[in-house]
Amino acid sequence: MPDKVTDYTELAFPTFVNHFTMQIGRSHPEWIQGFAETLAQIQKDVAVAHARGIEAALGDPDVSEAGLAKSIRAVKLAALKRIGEFGASLVDPLRGRIASLEADLHKRTDFHPPVEPGARLAFEFERNRFLAPLTALNPLQRSEVYVRLTDPALLYFMEAAKPTVRIPDDPSLSGGVVSEPFVDPELMLDVRAKRIREALPVEAAELEDFQILLGFYSTFLNSIRTLVEQDMPSEPQPTAAKPRTGNLVVDEGFIQPAGSAGGFARA
């Protein structure tokens, strides 16, 4: 019978490989075969196993409705566990590699303030002098100033500045004040990424390739996870123990001696 997880992977597999080849083929052609083989392994271990498990559960003519739900839930939980294992072996190491590369590139391209006391004092004085008039501007105006800067020290001043506080138009909605980042975080990421690409183009391209690889693996696994989680039977609730009164068992309005098969008397 048709299975949404298997149908998706059969359709997505060639699409993912083709798009990955177009984006990575020139810089890392040696990655393509391994990428395709990994997707095929995910398809086999998750999608195919999921379809066969569901088919086996539905094909049992003697299973009760509760038993069928329990079997289907077990199949889906096994598939989710396998997806998690692929995530741990593929996605997590890539995230660690990317974080390490980013930290190294930022260390090599970010501005580093002086540490000598006299120079540091002059540096802090210049920082305060530069930032003072900018605090009166709104975020959009500060962003316009930020994107036009080229001096590394001035860029550092704005990137390291503390958030500003303003009174909103309706103070009752936010406790009377609003805290705003000095520079929009997304804009700052874009500017810093551009700075890295200009200063270290080879290393920046390598970082972007790893980010592309991470994006493909994450999207493939997350899409399968979403499909597996659909129609997940709820976890069966444990049956509550029937209350006892001394050596009597209360059962749906009757009191029966414990261990007795008959002789009911209405409670």
Exposed, middle or buried: residue 43 (CB in 10 Å: 0-12, 13-18, 19+)? buried
In angstroms, rounded to a whole number, what is the distance separating the alpha carbons of residues 51 and 69?
15
**CA of 138: how far to CAs of 23, 134, 154, 168, 169, in Å?**
39, 8, 18, 12, 13
How far apart CA 150 and CA 138 sit, in angstroms, is: 21
Contact 130, 157 (CB under 8 A): yes
Would you give the distance in Å from CA 180 to the centre of its chain?
25
Residue ranges with strand state E in the chain: 164-166, 178-180, 244-245, 248-251, 254-257, 265-266
Domain boundaries, the chain: 4-111+202-229, 117-200, 241-267
pLDDT at 165: 85
Give pLDDT, residue 265.
38
pLDDT of residue 256: 46
Predicted local distance difference test score (pLDDT) of residue 235: 77
CB count, 10 Å around CB of 118? 8
pLDDT along the chain (267 residues), means of 10: 83 95 94 97 96 93 91 95 97 97 95 95 96 93 96 96 82 71 95 95 96 97 95 73 54 46 38
DSSP state for residue 22 in the 8-state scheme: H
The reported pTM is 0.77
Residue 263: what pLDDT? 39
What's the confidence (pLDDT) of residue 167?
74
pLDDT score for 15: 96
Quote the Cα angle for 211-217-220, to 5°: 135
Which pLDDT score, from 0 to 100, does residue 172 have? 64
DSSP β-bridge partners for residue 180: 164
